[in-house]
Structure 1
Amino acid sequence: MEMAKKIRGHGEGSIFQRSNGTWRTQLTMNGERISYSAKTKSECIDWLTTMQFRLNRRFDYQGGKTSLKTYIEQWLENHKVSIRSKTYHRYKGLSEKYIIPRLGDTDLNDLHPQNIEWFYADLLADGVGIRSVRLCHSILHCALKKAVTYGWITRNPAHGVTLPKYKPAEMQVWNDGQVSLFLAAAESSHYKALYHIAITTGMRQGEIIGLQWSDLDWNRGAIQIQRQIQRVRGQGWSFVEPKTRKGRRKIILGEGSLHALRFHKVQQRITIEVAGVRWQDHDLIFPNSLGKPLDPSNLRLNFTRLLVEADLPKIRFHDLRHTAASLMLNNGIPLIVVSRILGHAKPSITLDLYGHLYHEMLGEAAKIMDELVTSIKAELPRNEILDDKLHQTAPICTRKCKPD
């Protein structure tokens, strides 16, 4: 039975799942409610985006006289329904800062691959980072691909252009001794349980800050990750769902982690008493001193101070995630298990990130296999070994030999 929905205004749409598992989207056009059903939510989003674009566009495309500025602005508005708020604001900011000022006056039909390549070259010459340039390309490629779908242009001019190569920041990981030094330094920190969870599970910073006590199953020693904190420009900090289905995951905690959380819960009760009426209960495991979501910048300051105290190499908080992954893999935890713990969409992502560790483990693997085979061979009776050797080396006569 479908739930009743409130009547929406002209051009507003809704998407919901029906009891049979299919998805339906509805849109009001000129006072009439039209519907579309599909097997997946993404199909409904595509249909709704297309219909809203056609309904809301405030320009006449006849003769190809639509500027990229007009098109990008409308595409962003209609694309908002299918992307995260943070992604939308990032796309909008890059479009307004780089794309529209330099390419905005160009008609869609006059936009060619060389224009776009020159645009990227100009950005790089002006000192814009490679990552920002590649994000501009993602925006242009996605927007112009939709323009092809609409029939506004016959081909995507952003397709096949040469992009500057992006080299991500090199990850820094700690060894066992450095991890021990850090955890010892963190013993006196209010965030020591947080750091323990970060290193033993490899959770992202936003996931840790978003944890609630209701996510924790004390009996089974498991914690459910189903939200993360994210900063949206103009809206402050807010909780959002993980990007992928694999991001919503359950992690089994060790007894050391559970002990750290029990102690942390006792300490939190004291913090609540001190805060009194100022405490805002959000059920967060790691809130600030008043119960509100912890500001990542404050955590970063505390983390940096501990690095100095422990005389450890300066790394990012996110490198604790890389450290956790390397410790797991170096201690023989299968890659597919590590991938699930980290919440990667597929194991190939884990392999791409940490495949270099396997090269370091090849020598150890060869040593283990050599010892294994040697021990098996040593257990065989001596005569069987000799018989096997004679069987392999003795010549085999396949024809009748003449006597000398």
Structure 2
Amino acid sequence: MPPKRKARANGEGSLYQRSSDDMWVGSVTLPDGKRKPVYGKTQAKARAKLKELQAKIDAGLPITTGKGVTLAKWLTEEWVGRILPTRVKAEKISQNTMNSYADNVRLHIVPHIGHHEIGKLAPAHLRTWLEELAAKPSGRQKKPTKADPFPPVALLSGRAQAYAHTVLRIALNDAMREEIVTRNAVLLVDPPSGKSSRGRALTEEEVNAVFAAATEDRYATVWTTILGLGLRRGEALALRWSLLDLDQGLAEVGQSLQRVRDAAPGADGRRRGRLEVVKGKTEKSEATIPIPPVVVQALKDHRAAQEIERGDAEVWVDPDLVFTTGIGTPIEPRNLNRAWTALCERAGVKDARIHDLRHTAATWLYEEGMELKDIQHALRHSRLQTTSEVYTHFTKKTQARTATVMDGALKRLNLPGV
């Protein structure tokens, strides 16, 4: 009688080639007795994955097969708890992006479909989830007033629904990479048709009205700088005198002042935040760009006024910061938003955001005949498509130019009646 084959101990893997598709399959018995498979097109790739898995087991890292694991458990413990913090540390995503993903998981995913086993998540579950999101009240409701004591309940916007769909898609893509699931069920369900807020370019009349109302505005030079350089709000607030060469008319831009919230809420359940200067939005965000002479003069005047204010102040925290509060501290981005809203109300300009000044800058450059590729570099976009589809708005001026160009082409032809 042949000797009985010795059973493999936990962590000891097996490897074989599957006859149906020639894939190499490896598996390991986890400490809880469950089997965890790995796959590879070659024996070497499968063996490498097997060794990596065994190393994680030896290091005591959490391993799951996906069987019996709920979506809620994997999202909260693995994705939000382990994978996303690693990406923040590696500077692949920002802390604010991670917080946004985590909030979406907590508010819009786990309460609805978190109880489903992650490996058995089906398109039917996701369609029901999206239907529930469409009927879900928004977290932002109008407050009752005397004129409108019972305002209608606002539902979750299409954009918010689409974002939740995107967050879950990203999470399940990571689950596939971790070999927790074999497919991303979210890809089998169409996302909601929520449209992103595209923004708009202000008309010349609106810009004149805003800047006329900003004559005595503390932030007048901020608005001029954002429009003249096509900056994002946070980029303008992060500007430093040491990064500006007003004699040569050059500025190093790209870093951004943002309020970064803590990953975890405090004892009172609220998530604290702090102002931080963070890296640019993309690799192309950081660059040295020319400053138009009009903006150079505005910045020189602002620096002179700031020096007087600093001399009169009892304390000035950061003398290198271009735009500050009355004591030399960074400007809170939300306070700048409030100042812009108040300015637009005084100017009689409706539905305009600070970021629309950047849209305006791009559109003006386009109207003046600047090539899209050059506008892309001026705005420091990583993709030309972003510049063309989002930032260069088709205005009456560009429409008129289109008609003029077409008229010239038509006149070269022998058209009847022309």
- How would you bin the TM-score normalised by the shorter chain? 0.7 to 0.9
Q: Report if the CA contact (8 A) 1:198-1:320 is conserved.
A: yes
Q: How many Å apart are 1:109 and its aligned residue?
A: 1.8
Q: Is the 8 A contact 2:157 2:194 kept in 1?
A: no
Report the Cα distance in structure 2 between the residues aligned to 1:181 and 1:146, rounded to whole angstroms: 49
State which of 390, 394, 397 in structure 2 corresponds to 1:357.
394
**C-alpha deviation, 1:226, in angstroms:** 2.9
Say if 2:258 and 2:333, in contact at 8 Å, map to a contact too. Answer: no
Task: Tell me the distance in 2 between the aligned counterparts of 1:291 and 1:122.
Answer: 48
Say if 2:285 and 2:381, in contact at 8 Å, map to a contact too: yes
**Residue of structure 1 equivalent to 2:194:** 166
1:135-284 → structure 2 map (5 Å cutoff): 135-169=163-197, 171-233=199-261, 234-276=272-314, 278-281=315-318, 283-284=320-321
1:340 maps onto 2:377 in alignment: yes
Q: What amino acid sits opposite 2:377 in the alignment? A: R
Aligned AA for 1:260?
A
Q: Which amino acid aligns with 1:320?
A: L
Q: Indicate how the Cα distance of structure 1 residues 369 and 152 shifts in structure 2: closer, same or farther if over 3 A, else same.
A: closer
Who is 2:327 aligned against? 290
Query: What residue is the counterpart of 1:41 in the other structure?
Result: none
Candidates 63, 74, 79, aligned match of 1:75: 79
Q: Is the 8 A contact 1:222 1:251 kept in 2?
A: yes
Aligned to 1:118: 128
Shift of 1:96: 1.2
Say which SS state the counterpart of residue 187 (structure 1) adopts: coil
In 1, Cα distance between equivalents of 2:159 and 2:60:
32
Secondary structure of 1:328's counterpart equals: helix
Q: Which residue of 2 aligns with 1:129?
A: 157
CA shift, 1:145, in A, is 1.6
Q: Which of the pair is proportionally richer in helix?
A: 1
**Structure 2 CA distance, aligned partners of 1:53 and 1:105?**
27
Q: Distance in 2 between matches of 1:123 and 1:92?
A: 17
Q: Which letter does structure 2 place at the counterpart of 1:188?
A: E
Superposed displacement of residue 358, structure 1: 7.5
Identical aligned residues as a percent? 26
2:24 is aligned to none
Amino acid at match of 1:190: R
Q: Is the 8 A contact 2:251 2:289 kept in 1?
A: yes
1:84 aligns with 2:112: no
TM-score normalised over the length of structure 2: 0.71
Asked whether the equivalents of residues 200 and 393 of structure 2 are also in contact (C-alpha less than 8 Å), the reply is no
Deviation (angstroms), 1:59: 5.5
Q: How far apart are the structure 1 equivalents of 2:392 and 2:257?
A: 29
Give the conservation status (yes or no) of the 8 Å contact 1:53–1:75.
no
Give deviations 1:54-75, integer Å, cap 9, x for gaps.
Answer: 767546437x111111211211
Structure 1 residue 102 corresponds to structure 2 residue 140: no
* 2-structure distance, mates of 1:256, 1:56: 62
In structure 2, distance between residues paired with 1:358 and 1:184: 23
Letter in 1 for 2:119: N
What SS class does the counterpart of residue 138 from structure 1 fall into? helix
Distance in 1, matches of 2:399 and 2:246, equals 39
**CA–CA distance in structure 2, aligned partners of residues 371 and 100 of structure 1:** 60
Distance 1:53 1:226, change over 3 A: farther
Q: Alpha carbon RMSD of aligned pairs, Å?
A: 2.7
Matches of 1:339 and 1:53, distance apart in 2: 44
Deviation of residue 264 (structure 1)?
0.3
Any idea what SS the aligned residue of 1:188 has?
A: coil
Deviations for 1:243-267, whole angstroms, at most 9, x for unmatched residues?
2111112221111111100010011
Say which is worse superposed, 195-204 or 354-363, in terms of deviation. 354-363
Please, which runs of 5 or more residues in structure 1 have no aligned partner? 1-46, 378-388, 390-404
Give the counterpart letter for 2:241 in structure 1: W
Q: Which one has a bigger Cα radius of gyration?
A: 1
Other-structure match for 2:30: none
In the TM superposition, what whole-angstrom CA distance separates every residue of 1:227-257 from its partner, at most 9, and x where no partner exists? Answer: 1012222222211111211111222111111
Unaligned runs of 5+ in 2: 1-48, 88-92, 137-154, 262-271
2:354 is the counterpart of 1:322: no
SS in structure 1 at match of 2:258: strand
Moved more, 147-156 or 355-364: 355-364
2:347 counterpart of 1:310: yes
Kept after mapping to 2: 8 A contact 1:53/1:78:
no
Distance (whole Å) between structure 1 residues aligned to residue 258 and residue 281 of structure 2: 12
SS at match of 1:159: helix
Post-superposition shift, 1:367? 2.2
TM superposition shift of 1:89: 0.8
Deviation of the 1:372 alpha carbon: 9.2
